[in-house]
Copies of this chain bind each other. A is one copy, B any other.
Amino acid sequence: MSKAKKISGFPEWLPEEKILENHLIDKAMSIYESHGFVPIETPAVELIETLTAKGVVDKEIYGLKRLAAEEEEESKLGLHFDLTVPFARYVATHFNDLVFPFKRYQLQKVWRGERPQKGRFREFYQFDADIVARDTLPMSSDAEVVTLLAKCLVAFKIGTPRIKLNNRKLLVGFLEGIGISSELLPKVVTVIDKLDKIGDKGVTKELDTLGVEKGAIDKVLAFTSEKIAAADFSQKIASLSLESDLAKAGASELEEVIALIPEDLLPFVEIHLQIARGLDYYSGTIVESEIVEFPEFGSVGSGGRYDDLVSQYLSKSVPGVGISLGISRLMELILDNKLLEIPAKSSAEVLLVVFDEENRSAVNTFAEELRKEGIATEVFFKSPKLGKQVDYANKKGIPYVVFLGDKKEVKNLSTGEQQEFSAVQDLKSVISA
């Protein structure tokens, strides 16, 4: 068995678990499509210069090298580590063939060359929805993608979603306003973003190490300590008497986004003034999310506004905003905590028993009639004793077994009830009853 062990950090599900994952994917996809989003797919690889264009730490990237390549052949291709950078490159590549605003969804694996640990996969699914436009993109688009994220988390029925919103301009403007230097700013933002993990004490210690003054640290902690319900944001922000124009602009953007989130989803939205997200292409709206019942588990979907990412590949202004569902992380949460029922091990509704091999062609013909009626049907692959065939249906969770003998009979495996039927339509009504 040692030859076939799983590789750490690369999740692999059993078939019934994969069916469950597909249910999540289908739900999110139908929500994305109900808003007019269309699918795209990019290669798993990009040029390494594309992946590292925005100063992303390259130790997380897997480079590709043909096994038979010469030693000196340098690797130019790397596996993508998210779907936002490839999407931005895609928009630049196909700019003249796209209609803007361009609203796309994208479901693909991404790879990160990290040391595997709980909740840190090296290969995982992301399911993104983004909107990009030429020149300007209004806050209605930020509100739409945040709405998509909230809708998906509600639809999954795995707990209470908490959507954490912020705006990078608001945070950065505030920090500038209290005198943080532009040189220190990115590091300070990174520390503040860790508040939920390391607490006030941790933030104080790290900011102190960076050389931030005690008075400024206190202001930071006062600013970031409160979680604000979305409905209270306008009042709260007025009370802060922001002076920085950048901070005011960020607050105003955030108000616009909040105003456009549907009423039934608004109770799930909170403003968390400390969140900033690690990836440095975000320039405005920032969103993260978690399941309230599992706060330790961390983020299950996130995203934000990136005004300058596409323009790195194209000398045009193409602002964008998007969210990314962490499908593999959600699966880990769901499986570890048994949050959803695991589906059957087979997609078949009916197993047709084969009495002997002479019959097989006739049984196959009947199976085709059922499939034409939309009933997924399996024909047992051998013809052992009937008990063995019924056993198989039980083990796979196939709900009905059909015997095509002198009499035609169908057995409901959950009730044990067995009854005769005459034609396909009869059988269909038994099954759909």
Contacts and interface: CB of A to CB of B under 8 A. Distances in A.
Interface of A: 1, 3-7, 10-16, 18-19, 22, 33-50, 53, 58-69, 75, 77-79, 89-90, 92-95, 97-99, 101-104, 109, 111, 113, 123, 131, 133, 137-138, 140-141, 144, 259-260, 262, 312-314, 345-348, 351, 360-361, 364-365, 368, 371, 376-379, 381-382, 392, 395-396, 398
Contact of A140 (B5, B63, B89, B360): B360
Contacts of A38: 15-16, 18-19, 345-347
A95 to B, nearest CB: 8
Q: What are the 8 tightest A-B residue pairs by CB atom distance, in nearest-first order?
A: A59-B68, A36-B348, A36-B378, A4-B92, A66-B113, A10-B43, A4-B313, A15-B38
A394 B6 CA distance: 50
B44 A111 contact: yes
A23 B45 CA distance: 24
Contacts of A98: 14-15
A291 B12 CA distance: 35
Contacts of A351: 36
Given A15-B98, A62-B67, A67-B78, 14 more contacts: A3-B49, A3-B53, A4-B314, A12-B41, A33-B347, A33-B376, A43-B123, A58-B68, A64-B65, A65-B65, A65-B75, A103-B378, A260-B360, A260-B361
Contacts of A3: 49-50, 53, 92, 312-314
Contacts of A89: 4
Contact of A381 (B65, B141, B347): B141
Nearest to A48: B67
B67 A64 contact: no
Contacts of A67: 48, 58-59, 61-63, 75, 78, 113
A45 B92 contact: no
A5 B93 contact: yes
Residue among A138, A140, A262, A351 having the largest count of chain B Cβ atoms under 10 Å: A140
Contact of A377 (B7, B34, B44): B34
Contacts of A123: 43-45
A387 to B, nearest CB: 16
Contact of A66 (B12, B62, B90, B92): B62
13 contacts: A3-B53, A7-B77, A10-B45, A12-B41, A15-B102, A18-B40, A34-B371, A34-B376, A36-B377, A44-B111, A62-B67, A69-B113, A99-B396
B65 A39 contact: no
A229 B67 CA distance: 43
Contacts of A262: 364-365, 368
B37 A347 contact: yes
A312 to B, nearest CB: 7
Contacts of A396: 99
A33 to B, nearest CB: 4
A113 B381 contact: no
A392 B15 CA distance: 42
Contacts of A93: 1, 4-6, 12
B68 A65 contact: no
A346 to B, nearest CB: 5
